[in-house]
Structure 1
């Protein structure tokens, strides 16, 4: 059988994904002294990676200790040096940490205000060797010596000041943030709002006394040290709060294949947790010298406090920004979501003066690193054996009840009060643990359904009846209830392999899929001055920690034993004392903390929105201004914000027009700047105005704007100068820039030329120009990110606009990209309706400002590549100038050290942001997964949807850094390698069959669907902008939306009945079964609905029953149905009610309301509909059955 030209039947073996290319990196192989290799507790002489920005020089000398090389790592890129030289021209010095002893609160406040934004270096973006085109939004980390010179955005980092406490960025003479000292202890309030998270909840603020401060240090969140994991306590989730988890942990074996060919050269970073502290005389960011780590003592109790403080309410900011702290400086420091501060950390936590510690830094101590905080003798003895996860105070997990400890250490009476337990208690041994973990291993139990062999070439009906659910991790029931929802946090493998070698055998990628800021109907919001975190790795306390006793808890990521703060002993839900394990933080894997002022570098910024609008002839003809202005008028009062919300408008064609909307004017004033080569702000103080004070002028402008340029003949577009002006206008505060563009920029900075050859759109060979043509838009995005400003792009074009270049403004500033090809208000009503619905969601959805996100994981695991729209500030810290509920991220991981001494691993993501109401908040998600030692268990836990979404991200990077052909070959090889590895381990398999475990039976189908997507297809006419936009979507969509894009759902809806239904809010919703995406399922007598995520296609057969057409579509027969119909009428008929109920139910499950498009045989959109039938053969691509035969042929070679 001949292979279609679009998919080579024999992809080269080299085209596979792997964690890196040639080169190597260092990982901690064993501590130099102190704790044994497999013992819990801190290590000595662990390597510490800088929390600053940049990468080590090639001649970098690592700290003392024993390190082993990791194969297949890419060499460092030279692009960082290029950016440092040309993009950050100034210099400043690295900060120094000062040791602080006990200080009075007044003195502390004075010192806090002295350290302004001077000491955090800017960050350079790591990209590939191949100029800017290779740098898509994934992050490969490269280390450079911090002794190099850095510069700051706009030279804001000129002053060098050292301080002994964490700076909040407040001016010395500011009277806004006087932090009161609270003497009495108040206890926190927890709210479980029934409305969407992010509203205003009732809160009680509390104070926490802190011990004297010793030396401190910075640490990264990840470590490659392998140790046993403690078990969590018996806990219960509050009624109505969903903590169900279906996640999958993924194995880096395939990742090895995937990453190598998808992302090109990737520098892998070993994220480790330092067990000791850095000498205070050394700069925090300097790691190019050997450092001897020391470790302080446990610190005093909460009664010996340095200070007690609570968070003051955010002050009201005037429209004029304060002159003292700059936004850039705040951007750089706040990015360090490493939130350590006096009033917000556990009671034994000293204060750090660097925001890398706010979310990622750790604390040093004064003693030797080898000694943990001096646990009791029995605890020391117990640490020699691997400890169960969660065994400890106050009682065993239900799954452990039958496991007898080596010696009786406490009464077995269920009524025994936990406070009376005899400590120290002993842990069960490894053998006892394995028998009591509730079946964490699959080897000795009956074969699970996920391992049932499926003959893919014979079993043609492999699609489930309904949507594919996320697999549930093989944990005991209590841990399963506590685990994070797969909608927020999902792993490609729900069973984590013990070693990298086992992962390599499985040939599956290991990674995480994140949706950290998604809309939640119920979210525990916690207000307390004490946010309890591990003193070493800065992990937030969570359901999977273990309590040694009432006063100590063990971190589930680095295994350090920490003190329980006095305030944490009180449970605000039960109003009882002495039950820290019942606190909401330990009962919910997703929580949100109201952060105190210690998590702020400046007063919380107001919500600021700037709209930059194309008003050239093209734009006026397209008619988007009418839709935008109408939508703004309707939603002006719904824009997220408070009384400080500010708004502004800029329009541009061949010149740039500003609008003075200052309160007191009788009408808006237009100010035109024609010198686009030297753009300036004509009246800086009146272009961004208070929304409430100038609302009438804003409404006047929005009413007049659509008709203001009706007669324009300007065909040029000065987008670059308009963006430069927008950046200058937003720099003092930060916020969101919304850019509306309709054509190729043709004047001034950032002008572009057409690079598309229409004759090459159907090429089966080389697809060029997937990367940017200029670095102007990337540099602008980096500037904006430094000033806490995100840029969102709305591209409404009827012709090529070089989205590959324009998209950079959003990729690197944490913005969003919206694309409307062939947009015209009247000629293309489907796109016009889509814009209208998208704008309603865009203008009213939640938004977080000046955000940073960090991901932590258990010792032995490390993160090496991020995917999404962001800017990387340090090895594990993402800068998100804006965060929205529709943004998704992906992470690639590897196993640095064996996990043989632990039964469970955990991942935790922390998102620090400023809400639109001016509150500093931290949203924390924690995921727990089992560790397995057999290959069959790894396959049993495979999450095929998460695997495909991670591969899609990797393939986008590979397409840009290498070629589209290489990315396609690597995707095919991902299937070949994984199925070949599975078949090689299974017995009694005939070579003539293609067998997959049930967990991976959809893998070939999804990869074929991916290959037929606009992003990766060849041989089919595909506009370059369409292809680039599809790639942008794959890099930024959450999993649930990305899967609809890759493999749509097809339903037959002309036979809906009340038999298979569900009840949702007193509404009966039919549940038709899923159909194969093949024309063989379509009949001329039927009607079929295809759910593609952002659009619904309703295909009507020519011979469809006239009663259905009349009742559902409102027309007497097929011929009378119009081609451009996009709405279903409300007809009082059972079939109409069922159909509308089903479509409404589908729409309600996603944030962006999809547009409905009716498809008839003569409809031009029919081509788009049939291109989604991915199981059918086309001229350039295999059918599904042919693809299976090709896979089998590759395996049998």
Structure 2
């Protein structure tokens, strides 16, 4: 069985774990590094939340930066899996940037024969292959096939049946490894950095203005999130086949650029998209420069092909992300980097886990920046459970959020705005109804019962439903607070972002100064003695020689470091249009018709659960 966060498999530097709170909301906590061993005593370790700074020790399973499962205890049978309504899937970031103190990914050269693989299912050798017949034969942990060990790879076994050289071979003791590829794996490609400022009206493909000049209502379908014609998808396919990855920088000088079509082009060729609304060089040049610097410096692989394999009893369902597909099983990436994550749903089709564990393996064939052709193999072993409560205890809130967001976002183009938000809340209701019916220790319907591992489910569901992609325009404010390009940008982000970034997307932090703010606070942070003295236009946050200014700017620098990018920070005086956007982005508070409060959400969920049960 797996170990819970903070128990065996994990230890803090500097302080014990914080006390449990009754209020299930994110809390500011000291940034204490946690040493996380991916396995402990031969058992899977449940990863802590993504907000916890980790030092990862690879003990045979891939670390959570590279592979994160929504379930850390897999229901054994299809009947149990269907009954619990728990989403099962993986969020995979094969080129994730390792922490400075993480175990590095070792490189293994297995000689002229190349990587050792199962002859039946083609899975790569890993820490869970079994060796029998005094080391002369091997048994695949994915399909169970027994086969001869390739010549030159055999090794005698010890008294416990383990290869005597297992601890000296990274592919047999690590969850993540790079294997040197042989000649038949070789390929030959590039990256395109494109800067756009206006609507692409000329050439093929071209775009037309498609934004509706009014606030959207719940009944309105998001048809304009589809690309403007099939030519955009065709262009993406041609780029991917030519091993060209587009990296688009949309420096929006006007109100509309058709980001929806540009997103279809970028994602279809495994590319990326950055959007700078109302681009103003004096204010945005530093952010653009930082984005470019990181785009060139981040870990990346070229001419890549990936495939996800799962063990007997499981099957791979839908995949979401930025990639090109030539076959149903392979994902093609002209280039793939550390900011590019994909997600895949997993189904339990048959009784799983003949050896007590289920396995997933993502293998990525790629060219390193140094020109070496490598196969990066991430393998994850998850324990099987027959218990209902244990399956809920092993749920991963960050991965559940990432998988749910991708599922709903992928369905958004062409779907009614209100139906998108309803889908978010319906997923939460179905899960909580199943928990109450099959796993909860009490049945009192007067209380909203939440699984311990999913205490933040209502809050994150509310935040996701208030995301600009799904938010209806607020006509009473005289403008559409979620423009079409902004919706398309969030569609791209929700479908491609790493799991670590998802919580900050649906639950952003902001600061609001009311009229009663002390003058000393304004003076120390903004250099103004009153709100009226700030002036009518947005302005950058100043850096002053005061303790408060130093502390706030240090906090913002830490947020930028954690999110991996420079953020645009602005002081917005009352009456400026951006202030409306600020209020519409509030999650816990009620903001006009943009959505109810957190308390409203809890009541709505509770009412829906009671109605379903009755």
Q: TM-score, normalised by structure 1?
A: 0.44
Residue 555 of structure 2 aligns to a residue whose secondary structure is: helix
1:860·1:899 contact (CA, 8 Å) conserved in 2? yes
Once residues 467 and 735 of structure 1 are traced to their aligned partners in structure 2, the CA distance between those partners, rounded to angstroms, is 42
Once residues 197 and 66 of structure 2 are traced to their aligned partners in structure 1, the CA distance between those partners, rounded to angstroms, is 35
Residue 783 to residue 462, structure 1, CA distance change in 2 (3 Å): closer
Pairs within 5 Å for 1:667-686: none
- Which residue is 1:782 aligned to? 237
Pairs within 5 Å for 1:73-152: none
Compare 1007-1016 and 1178-1187 and name the one that shifted more: 1178-1187
Pairs within 5 Å for 1:376-391: none
Confirm whether residue 972 of structure 1 aligns to residue 550 of structure 2. Answer: no
2:129 alignment partner, one of 545, 559, 569: 545
2:287·2:567 contact (CA, 8 Å) conserved in 1? yes
Once residues 521 and 419 of structure 2 are traced to their aligned partners in structure 1, the CA distance between those partners, rounded to angstroms, is 48
2:586 alignment partner, one of 1158, 1167, 1173: 1173
- Which residue is 2:604 aligned to? 1190
CA-to-partner distance for each residue in 1:986-1013, whole Å, 9 max, x for gaps?
Answer: 3542222111111122111111111100
1:493, CA displacement in angstroms? 1.0
- Which residue is 2:259 aligned to? 803
Residue 214 of structure 2 aligns to a residue whose secondary structure is: helix
- Which residue is 1:865 aligned to? 318
Once residues 130 and 179 of structure 2 are traced to their aligned partners in structure 1, the CA distance between those partners, rounded to angstroms, is 21
Once residues 127 and 30 of structure 2 are traced to their aligned partners in structure 1, the CA distance between those partners, rounded to angstroms, is 30
Once residues 519 and 1164 of structure 1 are traced to their aligned partners in structure 2, the CA distance between those partners, rounded to angstroms, is 37
CA-to-partner distance for each residue in 1:104-149, whole Å, 9 max, x for gaps?
Answer: xxxxxxxxxxxxxxxxxxxxxxxxxxxxxxxxxxxxxxxxxxxxxx
Residue 1014 to residue 749, structure 1, CA distance change in 2 (3 Å): same
Confirm whether residue 490 of structure 1 aligns to residue 72 of structure 2. Answer: no
1:482·1:543 contact (CA, 8 Å) conserved in 2? yes
Residue 545 to residue 479, structure 1, CA distance change in 2 (3 Å): farther
- Which residue is 1:955 aligned to? 408
Residue 581 of structure 2 aligns to a residue whose secondary structure is: helix
Residue 789 to residue 833, structure 1, CA distance change in 2 (3 Å): same
- Which residue is 2:52 aligned to? none
Once residues 1130 and 540 of structure 1 are traced to their aligned partners in structure 2, the CA distance between those partners, rounded to angstroms, is 56
Residue 805 of structure 1 aligns to a residue whose secondary structure is: helix
CA-to-partner distance for each residue in 1:388-446, whole Å, 9 max, x for gaps?
Answer: xxxxxxxxxxxxxxxxxxxxxxxxxxxxxxxxxxxxxxxxxxxxxxxxxx99xxxxxxx
2:344 alignment partner, one of 887, 891, 912: 891
- Which residue is 1:44 aligned to? none
2:371 alignment partner, one of 914, 918, 921: 918
- Which residue is 1:1153 aligned to? 566
Confirm whether residue 907 of structure 1 aligns to residue 360 of structure 2. Answer: yes
Residue 566 to residue 1145, structure 1, CA distance change in 2 (3 Å): farther
Residue 379 of structure 2 aligns to a residue whose secondary structure is: strand
1:569·1:579 contact (CA, 8 Å) conserved in 2? no
2:117·2:125 contact (CA, 8 Å) conserved in 1? yes
1:886, CA displacement in angstroms? 0.8
Once residues 332 and 170 of structure 2 are traced to their aligned partners in structure 1, the CA distance between those partners, rounded to angstroms, is 28
Residue 245 to residue 806, structure 1, CA distance change in 2 (3 Å): farther
1:846, CA displacement in angstroms? 3.4
1:536 alignment partner, one of 120, 133, 154: 120
Pairs within 5 Å for 1:339-738: 460=23, 462-466=25-29, 476-480=40-44, 481-520=59-98, 521=100, 522-529=104-111, 530-548=114-132, 549-565=134-150, 567-568=152-153, 578-601=164-187, 605=188, 734-738=189-193
- Which residue is 1:1000 aligned to? 454
- Which residue is 1:296 aligned to? none
Once residues 1139 and 465 of structure 1 are traced to their aligned partners in structure 2, the CA distance between those partners, rounded to angstroms, is 14
1:1140, CA displacement in angstroms? 3.9
CA-to-partner distance for each residue in 1:593-616, whole Å, 9 max, x for gaps?
Answer: 232323214xxx4xxxxxxxxxxx
Residue 988 to residue 1144, structure 1, CA distance change in 2 (3 Å): closer
Pairs within 5 Å for 1:936-951: 936-951=389-404
CA-to-partner distance for each residue in 1:635-694, whole Å, 9 max, x for gaps?
Answer: xxxxxxxxxxxxxxxxxxxxxxxxxxxxxxxxxxxxxxxxxxxxxxxxxxxxxxxxxxxx
Once residues 596 and 527 of structure 2 are traced to their aligned partners in structure 1, the CA distance between those partners, rounded to angstroms, is 39
1:1024, CA displacement in angstroms? 1.0
Residue 791 to residue 597, structure 1, CA distance change in 2 (3 Å): same
CA-to-partner distance for each residue in 1:1158-1190, whole Å, 9 max, x for gaps?
Answer: 344455433333333211123322211112212
The structure where helix makes up a greater share of residues is 2
2:308·2:362 contact (CA, 8 Å) conserved in 1? yes
Pairs within 5 Å for 1:1122-1133: 1124-1126=538-540, 1128-1129=542-543, 1131=545
Pairs within 5 Å for 1:127-276: none
Pairs within 5 Å for 1:1050-1089: 1050=509
Residue 444 of structure 2 aligns to a residue whose secondary structure is: coil
1:856·1:909 contact (CA, 8 Å) conserved in 2? yes
2:316·2:345 contact (CA, 8 Å) conserved in 1? yes
1:962, CA displacement in angstroms? 4.0
Once residues 460 and 108 of structure 2 are traced to their aligned partners in structure 1, the CA distance between those partners, rounded to angstroms, is 41
Once residues 557 and 26 of structure 2 are traced to their aligned partners in structure 1, the CA distance between those partners, rounded to angstroms, is 24
Once residues 925 and 595 of structure 1 are traced to their aligned partners in structure 2, the CA distance between those partners, rounded to angstroms, is 16
- Which residue is 1:416 aligned to? none
Structure 1 or 2, whichever has the larger Rg, is: 1
1:1038, CA displacement in angstroms? 0.8
CA-to-partner distance for each residue in 1:1041-1067, whole Å, 9 max, x for gaps?
Answer: 12211112x4xxxxxxxxxxxxxxxxx
- Which residue is 1:753 aligned to? 208
- Which residue is 2:472 aligned to? 1018
1:1126, CA displacement in angstroms? 3.0
Once residues 821 and 894 of structure 1 are traced to their aligned partners in structure 2, the CA distance between those partners, rounded to angstroms, is 40
Residue 413 of structure 2 aligns to a residue whose secondary structure is: helix
Q: TM-score, normalised by structure 2?
A: 0.83
CA-to-partner distance for each residue in 1:481-537, whole Å, 9 max, x for gaps?
Answer: 432211110111111111222111111211111111111243212234242222222
- Which residue is 2:555 aligned to? 1142
2:142·2:312 contact (CA, 8 Å) conserved in 1? yes
- Which residue is 1:1057 aligned to? none
1:761·1:1023 contact (CA, 8 Å) conserved in 2? no
1:475·1:930 contact (CA, 8 Å) conserved in 2? no
1:878, CA displacement in angstroms? 0.2
Compare 781-790 and 834-843 and name the one that shifted more: 834-843
- Which residue is 2:47 aligned to? none
- Which residue is 1:740 aligned to? 195
Once residues 60 and 549 of structure 2 are traced to their aligned partners in structure 1, the CA distance between those partners, rounded to angstroms, is 41
- Which residue is 1:721 aligned to? none
Residue 917 of structure 1 aligns to a residue whose secondary structure is: coil
2:417·2:470 contact (CA, 8 Å) conserved in 1? yes
Structure 1 regions of 5+ residues with no counterpart?
Answer: 1-230, 232-243, 248-437, 440-448, 572-576, 606-733, 1051-1089, 1091-1097
Residue 590 of structure 2 aligns to a residue whose secondary structure is: coil
- Which residue is 2:443 aligned to? 989
Residue 928 to residue 848, structure 1, CA distance change in 2 (3 Å): same
The structure where strand makes up a greater share of residues is 2
Once residues 525 and 1146 of structure 1 are traced to their aligned partners in structure 2, the CA distance between those partners, rounded to angstroms, is 33
1:766, CA displacement in angstroms? 3.4
Structure 2 regions of 5+ residues with no counterpart?
Answer: 10-16, 45-58, 157-162, 475-479
